[in-house]
Amino acid sequence: DNIRKALQDVLKIHAIFFWSDSTVALSWIRSVCKEYKQFVENRVQEIRRLTDPKDWRYCPTKDNPADIASRGESVSKLAADDKWWYGPTFLLNPKDSWPVQPSHGEESKNTWQELKTSKQTVMAAVVHTDVQPEHSIENLLKPSKYSKLETLLRVTAYVQRFVDNVKRSLKVLHCHTEVMHNGVRETVTQVRSTYWIVRGRQVVKKIIARCLTCKRLEGKSYGVPPAPPLPEYRLDNDVAFSRVGVDYAGPLFVKNIYSKDSKMYKAYIVLYTCASSRAVHLDLAVDATSETFIRSFKRFMSRRGIPGTMISDNGKTFKSKELKEFCTKKKIKWVHIVARSPWWGGFYERLVRSVKRCLKKVLRTARLTYEELLTLLIQIEGVLNSRPLTYLYEDNDEPLTPSHLVLGRRVLTPAKSVSSGISDEVDTAERATRRERHLKTVLTHFWKRWKQEYLTQLREYHRPREARGPSVNKGDVVVIAEDNVKRLNWNIGQIEKLLTGRDGNTRAVVVRTIGKDGKVTTLDRPIQKLYPLELKLEQEHPENFPITFVRHGLKEN
């Protein structure tokens, strides 16, 4: 359709023909049958809306130029390929001599009609079995077709139970619809006004769980597996700020000191935090563009060193082409967490909360300039870097803080004038060497405390929980949750790939869905944002429970 619109003003097009070498796709387009899967049916309806099925024609695979593009070919061969440049040769011939598709359409249509008729015949025969079993069993089952008596008895029993099994689910679903898809209690009340089912509440609950309308609007998300072990970059006692998480916060509003107007301008907080030492570095940016962030990143690296790994969310700022090129030059590895899952970056999101808490209590309604706000942020940085990482014991005068792991001392504590104990006669180079050795010993001591105290304390907060809810499987049809969108308007997709973690559990998947532009797209989503529409049947099927029909106080067999 887009090609036709683009060319209709340039070329005079009198007729349009569409060619495909897929007999299956052509049968879908031409067939009047609608017994397709939802995905196929949607695509076929779109094709029928834009084109006339009669204009679709069959092209043998050997004559299809599109097959070259899908399989690939070298440039030299492509330049000399007449089929690629001029199309198949049969287009030069009269229309009557064009290739004809093998005739499967009528056979397909007849097959579907026969299948529907067969189903109706079997259903009618089974219903007749329920009314007059002594006559219909002979018509349905021929003992001569079965080699074992056991098999014949099993099939006969299944046929006799078939009608009752169908009635149980249909009756409950009918009552569920009559009460406007209300809950289990209302449905059970409606069912018991006419029928009696043994263990009725359990049966109704399991049948309602398969109601697509209720699952679309009230279904639960997938069960979340236990928390995984901490990643290696959280446990590495390498130099501070070698593994860094980054995030934006804001916007805040600042005054313009170069103007007398009262207009306020936006400013954003850029938070950098070390994944292991938990040290914080705060900066202020005038906007959230990639160019501004790269300048902030350069200031960070000039003061803290070039990191080896950066961790962030999937914001446009962190996925820009300019930033990728900059990191490639600096040999920095950038890791993005799964989209729409901020808890995956909890180690920097928690510090964003701490920064906002300080700002809220200090600023209140104050209006600051850019320089005043930057000064306040750096003061907050010093406070956060002086916070204790572990429980503060009474006999410990100096708790472990992030600044100990970065500077070797608490940043807000006044520096002590300590004599080095080295004579002035000692050479300056030797003095520097001994001082370096002393600082290295101090940092090693604090990192040892970090491993013994901080990591041990983290283990106390790591409490595995059992996963509650359905398990995720490839091919599941799901509803994709979106922020600030009503649940009724959430898109439907299908799980295409499972993203398995280091512990073997699945916490994120790749979902195939239809984007806003109407094209098929794939999304990375955590399983907490997915609500399944199709569940595996329980081992104890609700149709296995007996049901008694009651009408006007009389039992009905």
Which DSSP string corresponds to 407-451? HSS-TTSPPP-------TTS-HHHHHHHHHHHHHHHHHHHHHHII
Alpha-carbon distance values, 158 to 79, 122, 206, 207, 391 (Å): 65, 13, 22, 21, 67
**What would the two tokens of residue 442 be?**
């101090």
The secondary structure of residue 275, as a DSSP letter, is: T
In CATH terms, the fold of domain 240-407 is Nucleotidyltransferase; domain 5 (3.30.420)
Which DSSP string corresponds to 353-407? HHHHHHHHHHHTT---BHHHHHHHHHHHHHHHHTS-SS---TT-SS---HHHHHH
Alpha-carbon distance values, 329 to 233, 300, 306, 325, 332 (Å): 22, 16, 12, 6, 8
Give the containing element (helix H, strand E) for 330. helix 321-330
Give residue limits of the domains in the chain: 1-114, 138-218, 240-407, 476-536
Q: Which of 290, 288, 271 is nearest to 356 (CA)?
A: 271
Structure-token match 């009752």, residue found: 164
CATH code, 138-218: 1.10.340
**What would the two tokens of residue 76 be?**
């030299």
From first to last of the 557 residues of the chain, give the pLDDT tens digit.
677 777 777 777 777 888 888 888 888 887 766 567 777 877 888 888 888 888 888 888 887 888 777 777 777 887 777 777 778 878 878 877 788 766 544 444 444 444 444 444 444 444 444 444 444 556 666 777 777 777 778 777 877 777 676 777 888 888 888 889 988 899 988 888 887 877 888 888 888 888 888 888 888 888 888 877 778 777 777 788 899 999 999 899 998 877 777 788 899 999 999 988 888 999 999 999 999 999 999 999 999 999 999 999 999 999 999 999 999 999 999 999 998 888 888 889 988 998 999 898 888 888 888 898 999 999 999 888 888 777 666 666 677 778 777 777 777 767 665 454 545 555 566 666 766 676 667 667 666 766 666 666 666 666 666 666 678 888 889 999 998 889 888 999 999 999 988 888 888 999 999 888 888 899 999 998 999 987 544 444 444 555 454 443 444 44
Alpha-carbon distance values, 89 to 17, 69, 71, 98 (Å): 15, 18, 20, 10
Across the beta sheet with 491-500, what order do the strands follow?
Answer: 520-526, 506-514, 491-500, 477-480, 530-532
Judge whether 356 and 251 are in contact, CB under 8 Å.
no
Determine the 3-state secondary structure of 210 from DSSP: coil
d(CA 27, CA 37): 14
Determine the 3-state secondary structure of 52 from DSSP: coil
pLDDT for the residue numbered 516:
82
Across the beta sheet with 280-285, what order do the strands follow?
Answer: 280-285, 264-274, 243-255, 309-312, 333-336
The angle formed by the CA atoms of residues 185, 188 and 194, to the nearest 5 degrees, is: 150
d(CA 273, CA 352): 10
Determine the 3-state secondary structure of 525 from DSSP: strand
d(CA 490, CA 478): 10
Rounded to a whole number of angstroms, the distance between the first and last alpha carbons of the chain is 60
d(CA 182, CA 203): 15
Judge whether 45 and 37 are in contact, CB under 8 Å.
no
pLDDT for the residue numbered 128:
44
d(CA 179, CA 293): 56
HEC per residue, 449-499: HHHHHHHHHHHHHCCCCCCCCCCCCCCCEEEECCCCCCHHHCEEEEEEEEE
d(CA 186, CA 199): 15
d(CA 344, CA 228): 11
Cα-Cα-Cα-Cα dihedral of 405, 406, 411, 413, to 10°? 40
d(CA 243, CA 97): 68
Q: Which of 147, 375, 130 is nearest to 254 (CA)?
A: 375
Give the containing element (helix H, strand E) for 274. strand 264-274
